[in-house]
Structure formats: structure tokens, C-alpha cells
Amino acid sequence: MISEIPDSPAAAVDEAIVAAKRAQAGWERLPAIKRAGFLRQISAKIRDNVEPIARVIAEEQGKILDLARVEAAFTADYIDYMAEWARRIEGEIILSDREGENIFLFRQPMGVIAGILPWNFPFFLIARKMAPALMTGNTIVIKPSEETPNNAALFARLVTETDLPKGVFNMVYGRGGITGRALTRHADVRMVSFTGSVETGSKIMAEDAANITKVNLELGGKAPAIVVADADLDLAAKMIKQGRILNTGQVCNAPERVYVDRRVSDQFVEKLAAEMRATRYGDPLIDMGPIINKAGVAKITELVEGAQAVAGSKVADLGQSNHFEPTVLVNCRQDMDVIRKEVFGPVLPVVTFDDLDQAIAYANDTTFGLTSSIYTRTTRATSGRRCAPATSCTSAKLTSTARTSRRCRATTPATATAAPGSGAPTASTACASTRKRTWPISSTATCRARKTWKRSVSRPKPPVPGAGL
């Protein structure tokens, strides 16, 4: 045992919300540039404490220390990024149909926002909820995961060392069924932003219906990786492995299923299995840490049961913690649970395909979205195909009107794109996006695009200069 936390009752949650509501009016009246200044104070405190933050994250969540350092540093960068919106949030003047009249559109804060967090990137996700909420004049109450409360307590302590007015940022600890439920059902909460499982997100949406509370949900992923016959198989195996073992596979946009051309499947599986077997884990934590808890281990064990493994497939016999062997499964079918459900662990199920159209159909055959990747050496494999996203945006005061056009663009092997979750270059085909939208004054609004692929008879358009992820 490394700590004990309270299971905050409804009375404690109400106290935090009352404090946030009391502080919100004064916070909203501050010019945005002054609110940005307070955010920069928080980011500066984080940069001064990266090492102790990283050690707390690694201790309670099992993340390897280098990745925990990245998380701490990136959190500061993200807060600074949101602070820059002080100069970017604008209203609109809309022409009226009536003579002598113009319509003025103002962005207004919502009020009190509730942020409910998962445990996989616990420190960063505090900022992910807090920074946009505060920047846009809202106040917030955060409930961290009961699995990772210590880093949240450290975050709160650093905030108290800044000049941020009291009540603007608040934190309550406890389990979802008690503390989380009190937070989501409170009538003074104007929006709930949640990152986590589909099951919990569905429950939150049902709870919020009673007060017609807005919800912002980021729920799971089942990212496909397609390996075409002409791909650099060594590169594909290496990048897919790196994406999968990142944070022990407990990342929503990590590759969760692999589709490989039948003609090269034996070669690719051999290389992928070798990469996964070479993963170092245990004590010291070098490449990969443990699964978050025994329930997570049990879920992974159940999903891989009955599948044919060429690497791993069981709990690691280390005599300690919740380590699961890096696993490669073969001869998988599209209807298997390990293909349909989110595994959230170091497991790579492999499905073979006969042509790219079948692979694309398999990749799109999911209720999840987030990311996808394709590995090929040439543009021929993807010529004539476009990706058409189905985009759903939720905002706080106003609903974002997003018109998104995406097209596939081919790059040369020298300018390859990055594999989901790995941060490293991989394939030679990417999706470029151009977007025109009105900026919502959302406290934690998020646009999520689920990519789908369609065959097009037209030739691919040239790449958009500077297009990013």
C-alpha cells in the first residue's frame, strides 16, 4: 500500500461544486489574457517538478519512468498551448435578414464543469480537462481515477502554490459509483467531460439526462493496422510493436488489431512475434510496465483464451505485479472478441486478407474510432481511395459546426508518417485534413473523427503542404 484516499460522499462533492460556482462569476470577468497568465503559472510549476511528478506516476500507475517524464513535460506544453487561446477566441457578426440589424455572436462560459478521469495518462488528462475549461472562463471540479490519486494530489498541491483564485480548480477523490455519481448528477454542473470506457460513458450519459447536462465523452478505440504485401515488413513489425507496448498497450489509440496480406503473412508474423518476444519488462521497468490491476489482467486473459498464440498469451511468471506477456495471436477471425472488443493490453491479434478492399472493410467493421494506419512502399496500394470521416463534435455553450474534408495522400518512404501511439515514422500513406469550423467556447470540447475508407474513381489529389496528424 502506498496511500489511502477518501471515498468522497455527496456532501463533499457538493462542497466542491459550491466553491466552483462561487468562484466562476469573478473568474469569467477576468480578461482572457489574465486567465492565461494563471495557466502559465501552473505550467511553470510543472516544469520545475518533472522528476518528482514522473516518479509518482510510475509508482502508482506502472508507467515506465521515461514515458512518465514525457507525460509530465507534455502536460506543461499543453497548458501553455491552451493559454495561447486567449488571443484566438473571437465572436462573429452575422448579417440579419432584417434591415438595420446585425446579429452579434458571443462565446460565453458555461459555468461549472466536471472532469472525470481514467488512469492511463492520469497527470496529462487533468490538464486536458482543466486548461480549456479555465481558459474559456469556466471553473472545474476534477475526479481522478481511484487507481491513480497520488499524482492528482501532487497536481493540486502545485496549483495551490500559484496565484490561481480559490475555487477555480477543485478536486474530489473516490470511486465512480459514489463520488463520480454525485458529481454527474449534480444540478449545478453544466457539462461533464469523461474519458474512459464505453460502459461508464453510457452510464454517465444516462445520469446526466435527468438535468439535461451536456456531456463530452472520449470512449475507447480499436485501431487497425493494415500491412500491404509490398510493405517494409521489418519496419511494420517494429512500429506496430512500439505502438502496442507503449504504456503496456493501455492507450486508446494504440494498434489493437493487425490485418496483413495473406501472401506475406507468415514472414510478417515471424518478424512481429520476434519483436514482441524481445520486449523487456519487469523490474527494472525498461520497455513495458505492468497492467493497472488484476481486473485488467483477467479481462486480457479472457479475450485471448482460445486463440492461437505464437508469442505470449499468459500472465508473466515474475512472482510479482500484474505483468502480461507481450502476445501475438494468429488465425484470428473478424467475429472473435479479441478483434471486436478493446483489449487494453500488450496483445496483437492478426487477421489475413486477400485484397486491400477486404482489409479496408475489416478495418471499418467496428463501433470504435480514433486511429488507423497502413504500411506500404508505393502509392499503388492506396491509389484511388479516399477516407471519409464521420465526425461528431460536442461543445459546451454552442455546438461546433465542423465541415471536414479528408483525403488520402501518398508520401515517399523518406517522409513516412507516424504510427498511432508510437511517435515514430512508419508507412508511406497518410490522411490529410482541412477543416473549417467555428470555435466553440467549450470547456473541454473535443472533435473525434472516425475514419472510414472508400474507393474513389478519381485520381488522388496532391498532398496538402504542412498537413499534420
- Which residues have a catalytic role annotated? 218, 252
Peptide bond into 284 cis (omega under 30): yes
CA distances from 57 to 64, 65, 152, 442 (A): 9, 8, 9, 28
69 grid coordinates: 517524464
Given a contact cutoff of 8 angstroms between Cβ atoms, the answer to whether 138 and 166 are in contact is no
The C-alpha angle with vertex 149 and arms to 287 and 176, in degrees rounded to 5, equals: 110
Strand partners, 227: 260, 375
Rounded to an integer, what distance in angstroms lies between the CA atom of residue 387 and that of residue 119?
A: 32
How many alpha carbons lie under 13 Å from residue 162 in its C-beta half-sphere? 23
Residues, the chain, total? 469
DSSP state at residue 285:
-
DSSP track, 378-434: SSTTTTTEEE--EEEEE-SSS---EEEEEEEEE--GGG--BPTTT-SB--SEEEEEE
**Residue 321 falls in which region: left (phi positive, over 0), alpha (psi -120 to 50) or beta:** left
Residue that has been written with the C-alpha cell 464543469 in this structure: 113
